[in-house]
Amino acid sequence: MNPPQFVPAGAFEQPPLRKVTVNVLTDLGWMHGIFNLPPHQSLVDFLAPGVQVIKCTRVRLSQKPEVLPFLALRREAVRLIEPTLGDDMVETVGSIGRTTPREVTCLLDVGEVRGTLEVLVNVRVSDYLRQQANLIVMRQCIFAPYGEPDDSPKARRMATVIVNLSAATGVAEREMA
């Protein structure tokens, strides 16, 4: 039997990670940071249920000028996640199936987010939401604090947003425009 070989520290290469910049709405307000994902993993898969702490790097809180090198975000503190690099790899390709767009509003403790939710064809929004694992992806959204109009400086337009349903009071279906 051969004796175990000594491997110097740093001899193993870490897999390359894909940097996904995000804006995250939390209990403390908006923050900006980076999620470091394996290259072929979607953002929704990275945020999979069962993960109670979401690792984020280079975090800047809206109230503070300095950057935190690392922050472990508690899942239950996250309200919304807005990926800022576009729509690539937000969801796993082909994971949704045939869908139809539905206009919905998510009611949060700090405001509401209105946008389009892709729901499986011939499935009601309420039934679709019961099947989701606490995260939904909405497109062409507006987030606004309660009482603020869409053109308010406090309102925010977002191409894509991931909503943590466990942090939402509810989801309402709206009439298509």
Q: Residue 142: what pLDDT? A: 97
Phi, psi (degrees; rounded to nearest 5) at 170: 180, 175
Q: Does a structural domain hold residue 2? A: no
Q: What is the pTM of this model?
A: 0.85
User: How far is it, in rounded angstroms, from Cα 34 to Cα 94?
Assistant: 25
Residue with the bigger pLDDT between 174 and 58: it is 58
**Mean pLDDT, rounded, for 13-17:** 77
Q: Does a structural domain hold residue 89? A: no
Task: Give residue 40's domain range.
Answer: 18-83
Same domain, 160 and 121: yes
Same domain, 169 and 106: yes
pLDDT in tens, 27-39: 889 999 999 998 8
What's the helix, strand, coil split of the chain in %, to 5?
Answer: 10, 50, 40
pLDDT in tens, 77-91: 999 999 997 766 787
In the predicted structure, residue 159 carries a pLDDT above the cut 90: yes
Same domain, 140 and 166: yes
Q: Does a structural domain hold residue 7? A: no
Same domain, 78 and 108: no
Instruction: Report strand pairing: 78-83 vs 67-74.
Output: unpaired
Determine what percent of the chain is predicted with pLDDT higher than 90.
57
Residue 10, by phi and psi: left (phi above 0), alpha (psi -120 to 50) or beta? Answer: left
**Side-chain half-sphere of 41: how many Cα atoms within 13 Å?**
16
Same domain, 131 and 76: no
Q: Give the single-character DSSP code of 127.
A: H
Q: Which of 92-96, 153-157, 163-167 has the lowest mean pLDDT?
A: 92-96
Element at 107 (helix H, strand E):
strand 99-108
Same domain, 54 and 109: no
Same domain, 167 and 119: yes
**Mean pLDDT, rounded, for 40-62:** 88
Last residue of a domain, one of 41, 56, 83: 83
pLDDT in tens, 64-115: 889 999 999 998 899 999 999 776 678 766 556 788 999 999 999 999 999 9
